[in-house]
Structure 1
Amino acid sequence: MYIIIVGAGRIGTPLIDLATGSGHEVVVIESDEVVADRIADEYDCIVINADATRMSTLDDADVDEADALISTTDRDATNVMVCLLAKKRKVPAVVSVVHDPDHMDLFKEIGISTMENPSRLIAEHLFRSVVRPSIVDYMRIGEAAEVFEITIDEDAPIAGKTIREAASDGTLQGEVLIVAVERGEGEPVTPQGNTPLRPGDLLTVYSAEGATPDVTDIFGHYEDQESE
């Protein structure tokens, strides 16, 4: 895949590392000469020290040949302009970081795939590790829904039941779905109605209301309510 990455800062640099390390052809556009020189020395990629909001710069990066463009600068205005130029040149995949949540709708209206401010995402994960220590990992979907990983405790209401039994007796209520089960030394189990749920199982769970205390109580993690 031929990828153009705009910006080589705290977001762009790890992205460059991932993309080049995976064997993709990468062109980096960076306006800061010192940063551009560093990236050129450290990574196997082409680096263009120029303003990415100019179409001539994108032409220098062979934008018409690109499979994807990812804009990672710390300014939403710059990211919008770069992405609009890329869309104009019909780059198949155009993705941007969005720092101000109020700008998210603008990016979506013009058809740009977005990722919200990574600093806020990190802050949310750190906060979650304090108030929801039982949650191994999670991903927010929309305003409230979440997919998260959680282990079944010994005294959990759901422990020892099959998924069908838990649904029938009301242990699993509302829009709470178990989408994956990991047992033992990473042994994957495809969840079905007759799948038994055992203490120590690592579950991937979808909850329309998120990982609220009422939901995590099902898996025996009552301490979450005290952490609120």
Structure 2
Amino acid sequence: MYIVIVGAGDIGMPLIDIATRSGNEVVVIENDPERADRVAGEYDCLVLNDDATAHDALLDAGIENADAMISTTDRDATNIMVCLLAQEHGVPNIVSVVHDPEHMNVFRQIGVNTMENPQELIAEYLYRAVARPAIVDYMRIGETAEVFEIVVTEGAPIDGKSLIEAADEGLLPEDVLIVAIEREGEDPPITPRGNTTIKADDLLTVYSAFGAEPKLTDVFGHSEDRIQ
């Protein structure tokens, strides 16, 4: 895949690393000379030290041949301009970081896929890691739903019960689903059915329409894991 990445900052650099390691043809446009030199020295990609809002810079990057363009600069105005220019050249997949939530509608109106306020997401993730240490990993879906990973402790209310038994006893509400179980000695992860038994030390991937609330994590044996 031919990818044009705009910006080589805190978000752009890890993205460049992933994109190049995955075998894509990557072109980076970075306005800062030092950052541009760093990328050129570390990664197997073409680097242009230029302003991506300049039409000629995008042409030099081969934007007309790009399969995707990702804008990661720290300025929403710059990202919007770059996305509009990419649209003019018919880039099929355009993605941008959005720093100010108030600008989200602008990006949506021009038809750009977005990642909202990554700094805020990182801050929330870090806080969650200390406030709710039982949650191994999580992803928010919409306003309240979450998919999260959690380890079952020995003696937890759900330990030793099948999913049917857990549901019958009211441990798992209808809007909570166990979607995968990682268990030592089992590979690949188990796709649970109604008669699947949950065991201590299982790493569960859980979908909850109301998120990883304490009343739910209690079921997996983490009653001490409550946000203060």
Pairwise TM-score range, normalised by the shorter structure: over 0.9
Q: 1:175, CA displacement in angstroms?
A: 0.9
Partner of 2:149: 149
State yes or no: 1:129 paired with 2:129: yes
| Partner residue, 1:115 | 115
| Distance (whole Å) between structure 1 residues aligned to residue 109 and residue 157 of structure 2 | 45
SS at match of 2:200: coil
Deviations 1:127-146 (A, max 9, x none): 11121110000011111111
Aligned residues: 227
The aligned counterpart of 1:192 is 193
Q: Which amino acid aligns with 1:220?
A: G
Query: Using the alignment, how far apart are the partners of 1:217 and 1:175 within structure 2?
Result: 16
How far has the Cα of 1:118 moved from its partner?
2.2
CA distance in 1, matches of 2:170, 2:87: 49
Task: Write the letter of the residue equivalent to 2:49.
Answer: N
How far apart, in 2, do the equivalents of 1:204 and 1:223 lie? 20
* Structure 2 gap segments, 5+ residues each: none
Cα distance in 2 for residues equivalent to 1:16 and 1:116: 19
Pairwise CA distance, 1:185: 4.2
Residues 186 and 92 from structure 1, CA distance in 2 versus in 1: closer, same or farther, beyond 3 angstroms? Answer: farther
How much does 1:109 deviate? 2.2
Q: Which stretches of structure 1, 4 residues or more, deviate above 3 A after TM superposition? A: none
Q: Which position in structure 2 is the counterpart of 1:219?
A: 220
CA distance in 1, matches of 2:169, 2:105: 42
CA gap 1:185/1:213 in 2 versus in 1, 3 angstroms: same
Q: Which moved more, 1:3-12 or 1:107-116?
A: 107-116
CA distance in 1, matches of 2:57, 2:71: 14
C-alpha displacement of 1:186:
5.6
The answer for the alignment partner of 1:85 in structure 2 is: 85
TM-score by length of 1: 0.95
Counterpart AA for 1:17:
D
**2:56 is the alignment partner of 1:60:** no
| Number of the residue aligned with 1:177 | 177
Partner of residue 210, structure 1: 211
Q: Any stretches of 5+ residues in structure 1 without a counterpart?
A: none
- 2:45 aligned partner: 45
- Cα distance in 1 for partners of 2:186, 2:111 equals 39
Give the Cα–Cα distance (whole angstroms) in 1 for the partners of residues 102 and 155 of structure 2: 44
What are the superposed Cα offsets for residues 81-110 of structure 1, whole Å, 9 maximum, x if unpaired? 101111222211111111112222221222
Q: Distance in 2 between matches of 1:174 and 1:131?
A: 26
Quick one: which amino acid aligns to residue 196 of structure 1?
T
Q: Deviations over 1:152-186 (max 9, x none)?
A: 11222111111112112211114111010111146
Distance 2:182 2:220 in 1: 14
The alignment-based identity, stated in percent, is 64
Deviations 1:9-63 (A, max 9, x none): 1111111111112221111111112222222222211111211112221111111
Range with bigger deviation, 77-86 or 101-110: 101-110
Query: Which residue does 2:36 correspond to in 1?
Result: 36
Whole-Å separation in 2 of the counterparts to 1:39 and 1:72: 15
- CA pair 158-122 structure 1, distance change in 2 beyond 3 A: same
| TM-score for the superposition, normalised by structure 2 | 0.95
